[in-house]
Structures are given as structure tokens and as C-alpha cells.
């Protein structure tokens, strides 16, 4: 979480883990396993409010699902899996880290398109892709401990201006020819060195290889409408409404992926990272986000849940040993190790993903 603004912490009571169950759904063979994994997981989360789910951290074909034991016994999940040819694993106990991961992914999914993931931020507004001015945004961290969830929220104001063809410093004659000829392909490196960009929603950095007005013939998408549906199903993004002849596409190369190129609409490409803007009053953004979170977190796996109304903040003051002794009336042992744990912790880094042969055209790993 970025510095500069004091994050606000809110707490949410969680159900007893003994009343929950964890099940793994496994996709069968698919040409685009990562895209199908995310689409299926989002569909499950949006379809059933009593279910929490997340794509597995170490697999492109598995989905981790958490629900109440009573919900699992209804057979609804089994029917969902049969209709989509998913393999259901055996029920397992739920660990705090698994619940936290599924709760985080499910909440972010249910907040779209009012709040959209852009790098480390959730940016407000379904039309944020075309907004050139300032936007409210939040960064959020979660930590599960002792039967409750701590949500640390930092409100920000950001700019994420859309990229235009004028940003590539191409000559007027080249731009006129590109706009008049639908088969024209631009090489942005012709004006100098490599053109680097950031792609939504991850804001990962890549190199723009070509700019064109048509989708690749060997790609999975035939029309811009297909691409709009793809981004909506994967991330909840609402791509701008454009006529087919108005859309511009970028072929992007990622060094860590290999030689394969990924095609993005220009509306999802940024030449600069998210820009934070100074702002005095951020209570409006925080209040709006909290209102939406409370609306979508009224229950956890069917059990009533209530987010605390007043925020807590990190303390920067420290008590001396003498002060602690006076307050507690007991001797302080300075030789034993401290048992106090930090409020915010992080999960251990996930194991490396399994290799796959095919990746989505708009979803590099």
C-alpha cells in the first residue's frame, strides 16, 4: 500500500471456520485455460451470493470455492459443475488464508463496474477508461485473524488518461494514411526507440510492437463486440462503445512471456502508470467505497456480517517499559520475546504456476 495517506482500518466478523467447507473445481482441457478459469470463477461468484471463490494461485485450471456446509449439501454447486463439465474435488477444511483469498477476489468482483481494478487501485466509475480528469480510487489490503477480517483502506485521487494516436508522435501524413486505410499497420518504433506501455487491469509493462485497425486473423476474437464481451466477463470492464472501423488495437510484447504477442484495444493501454494526485479531503471517496462494500458484504457464506462503522488507525506512539508496568501493575520481563503480532500481514508468496501451452490473447500471466 502506498504511503502518504493514513489508511483506515475496518473490521468484519467472520463465521466459524468449522461451519464452512472448501472445494476445488477443476476445468477440463481448454485452449484458453486462464481465461476460462477467470470467467467461470466470476460467473460462480456473481451467480451465488452465498459462495466465495478465487482462481487458484498455483494453477490455470483450478478454482477454490468456500461455502457453508449447508449450501454444499443442497447440491447447487454440484449442478453448476456438471453443466460446465467441471471436476469437483472432495470437501476440505477451510483455513484462514484460503477464506481471505476467496473473500478478497469475490468482493472485488462484486464491486465492478462501480470500482474497477487498475494495478494496485480500485478506480471508480464504469466509464473510467475514457476519463481524462481526476478519479476517486482506493487501495485495499485484507488480513484474517482470530475470527475477524481487517480491511485496511487508503483513499486516493488518481489520473489514468486514455492513450490516443497523437501520443505516439507520428507524422500527420502517417496518421492520415492509417486512418484512411483499414489495412494499414503502424510501427511505433519508427520514430525512435522502443515504445513501452502499461496494460490494464494489471498495469504490467510491455512493449508495443504494432498498431493496427483490425484484430489478428489467427486470434480468438473476430469482432470488437467479441472483445467487449471478453473484457466484461473477465474483469467487469465496460469497453467504450465504438464502431468497428473506429477501434485501434495494439500488439504488445512481454519480455517474461516469450515471443507470443497479445492484442489489446487502445482503450486498455496506457503509456504512463497510474498517477496519484494530491487532494485534501478524501472522505468522500472513502465513504462512497465503504457504502458499496457494506452493500455487498451483508453476509459471508450466508452468515450475517457487519462492517464496523468507525475506522481505526495505526498508532505511532510507543509506551516505555515503566509505563506498561504502572498500567498493568505487573513486572515487565524484558528477556522474553514479544508475542504481539502486527495488525496487517501478508500471505506467503504462491508457488510458481504450472506451464501451459496456450494463453489468452488479452491475459498474460
Measured at the alpha carbon of residue 32, what is the angle toward residues 28 and 38, in degrees to the nearest 5?
80
Shared domain check, 119 and 39: yes
Determine which helix (DSSP H) or strand (DSSP E) holds 252, and give its type and residue range. Answer: strand 249-253
Whether residues 112 and 82 fall in one domain = yes
244 occurs within a structural domain: yes
Q: For residue 315, what pLDDT is reported?
A: 64
Q: What's 353's DSSP letter?
A: P
For 34, the domain range is 8-160+278-304
184-200 as b/e: b if 16+ CB within 10 A: eebebeeeeeebebbbb
Q: Is the pLDDT of residue 350 over 90?
A: no
Whole-number pLDDT of residue 192: 73
Q: How high is the pLDDT of residue 32?
A: 80
CA dist 309 and 10 (Å) reads 8
Does residue 360 lie within any of the structural domains?
no
Mark residue 4 as left, alpha or beta (left: phi above 0; alpha: psi -120 to 50; beta: remaining): left
Q: State the average pLDDT over residues 20-46.
A: 92
Assess whether 188 and 255 both reside in one domain. Answer: yes
The alpha carbons of the chain give a radius of gyration, in whole angstroms, of: 24
Neighbours of 258 (CB within 10 A): 10
Asked if residue 228 is part of any domain, the answer here is yes
Whether 222 and 257 map to the same domain: the answer is yes
So what's the pLDDT on residue 280?
60
In the predicted structure, residue 321 carries a pLDDT above the cut 80: no
Quote the pLDDT of residue 201. 96
Sign, CA dihedral 197-200-205-210, equals negative
More confident residue, 302 or 278: 302
Q: Does 173 share its domain with 107?
A: no
> What pLDDT score was predicted for residue 131?
95
Together in a domain, 207 and 88: no
Is the pLDDT at 365 greater than 50? The verdict is no
Q: Which pLDDT value is given to residue 355?
A: 40
What proportion of the chain, given as a percentage, has pLDDT over 70? 83
DSSP string, 170-191: --HHHHHHHHH-TT-EE-GGGG
Total number of domains constituting the chain:
2
Asked if the structure places residue 351 within a domain, the reply is: no
Answer yes or no: do 24 and 152 share one domain.
yes
Supply the DSSP string of 272-287, one letter for each residue: S-PEEE--S--HHHHH
The answer as to whether 3 is a domain residue is no
Q: Give the per-residue pLDDT at 318.
A: 54
Does any domain span residue 341? no
Judge whether 249 lies within some domain.
Answer: yes
Average the pLDDT over 60-79 and give the result: 97
> pLDDT at residue 160 above 70?
yes
For residues 79 and 150, membership in a common domain is answered with yes
Q: What is the pLDDT of residue 1?
A: 52
Between CA 94 and CA 36 the distance in angstroms is 25
> Do residues 283 and 178 both lie within one domain?
no
* Res. 353: pLDDT tops 50: no
Q: Which helix (H) or strand (E) holds 148?
A: strand 148-159
pLDDT per position as a tens digit, 192-243: 788 999 999 999 999 999 999 999 988 889 999 999 999 999 999 999 999 9
CATH assignment at residue 78: 3.30.70.870
The reported pLDDT for the residue numbered 31 is 72
For the packed helices 283-296 and 96-111, what is the interaxial angle rounded to 10 degrees?
110
Domain boundary (225, 250, 273) is at 273
Mean pLDDT computed over every residue of the chain: 86
What pLDDT does 296 receive?
94
Give, in order, the Cα–Cα distances in Å from 91 to each of 77, 256, 324: 12, 36, 47
What is residue 27's predicted lDDT score, i.e. its pLDDT? 94
The answer on 234 and 178 residing in a single domain is yes
Question: For position 325, what pLDDT does the model report?
Answer: 46
Mean pLDDT, residues 167-195? 88
Tell me if residue 73 falls in helix, strand or coil: helix
Closest C-alpha to 44, from 64, 19, 74: 64
Q: Is the pLDDT of residue 349 over 60?
A: no
**Average confidence (pLDDT) over 239-253:** 96
Same domain, 129 and 186: no
Q: What is the pLDDT of residue 4?
A: 53
| Residue 1 domain flag | no
Q: In what order do the strands lie in the sheet with 20-26?
A: 52-55, 62-68, 20-26, 87-88
Q: State the helix-helix crossing angle for 224-235 and 33-47, rounded to 10 degrees.
A: 60
74 lies in the same domain as 152: yes
Amino acid at each position: 500500500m502506498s504511503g502518504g495517506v493514513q489508511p483506515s482500518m475496518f473490521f468484519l466478523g467472520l463465521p466459524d471456520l468449522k461451519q464452512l467447507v472448501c472445494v476445488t473445481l477443476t476445468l477440463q482441457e481448454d485452449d484458453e485455460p486462464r481465461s476460462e478459469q477467470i470467467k467461470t470463477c466470476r460467473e460462480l461468484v456473481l451467480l451465488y451470493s452465498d459462495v466465495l471463490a478465487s482462481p487458484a494461485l498455483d494453477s490455470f485450471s483450478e478454482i477454490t470455492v468456500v461455502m457453508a456446509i449447508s449450501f454444499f449439501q443442497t447440491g447447487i454447486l454440484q449442478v453448476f459443475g456438471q453443466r460446465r463439465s467441471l471436476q469437483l474435488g472432495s470437501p476440505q477444511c477451510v483455513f484462514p488464508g484460503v477464506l481471505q483469498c476467496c473473500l478478497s477476489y469475490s468482493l472485488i468482483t462484486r464491486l465492478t463496474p462501480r470500482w474497477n481494478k487498475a494495478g494496485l487501485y480500485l478506480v471508480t466509475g464504469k466509464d473510467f477508461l475514457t476519463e481524462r480528469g481526476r478519479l476517486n480510487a482506493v487501495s485495499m489490503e485484507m488480513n484474517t485473524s482470530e475470527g475477524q477480517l481487517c480491511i485496511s483502506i487508503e483513499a486516493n485521487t488518481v489520473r489514468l488518461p486514455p492513450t490516443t494516436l497523437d501520443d505516439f508522435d507520428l507524422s500527420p501524413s502517417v496518421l492520415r494514411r492509417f486512418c484512411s486505410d483499414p489495412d494499414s499497420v503502424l510501427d511505433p518504433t519508427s520514430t525512435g526507440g522502443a515504445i513501452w506501455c502499461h496494460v490494464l487491469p494489471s498495469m504490467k509493462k510491455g512493449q508495443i510492437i504494432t498498431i493496427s485497425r483490425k484484430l489478428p486473423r489467427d486470434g480468438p476474437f473476430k469482432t470488437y463486440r467479441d472483445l467487449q464481451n471478453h473484457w466484461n466477463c473477465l474483469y467487469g470492464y465496460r469497453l467504450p462503445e465504438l464502431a468497428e472501423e473506429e477501434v485501434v488495437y495494439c500488439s504488445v510484447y512481454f519480455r517474461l512471456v516469450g515471443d507470443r504477442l497479445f492484442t489489446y484495444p487502445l482503450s486498455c493501454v496506457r503509456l504512463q502508470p497510474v498517477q496519484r494526485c494530491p487532494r485534501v479531503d478524501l472522505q468522500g471517496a472513502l465513504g462512497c467505497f465503504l457504502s458499496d462494500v457494506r452493500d455487498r458484504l451483508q453476509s459471508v457464506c450466508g452468515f450475517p456480517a457487519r462492517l464496523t462503522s468507525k475506522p481505526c488507525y495505526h498508532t505511532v506512539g510507543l509506551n516505555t517499559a515503566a509505563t506498561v508496568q504502572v498500567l498493568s501493575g505487573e513486572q515487565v520481563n524484558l528477556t522474553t520475546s514479544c508475542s504481539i503480532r502486527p495488525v496487517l500481514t501478508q500471505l506467503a508468496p504462491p508457488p510458481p504456476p504450472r506451464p501451459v501451452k496456450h494463453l489468452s490473447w488479452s491475459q498474460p500471466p
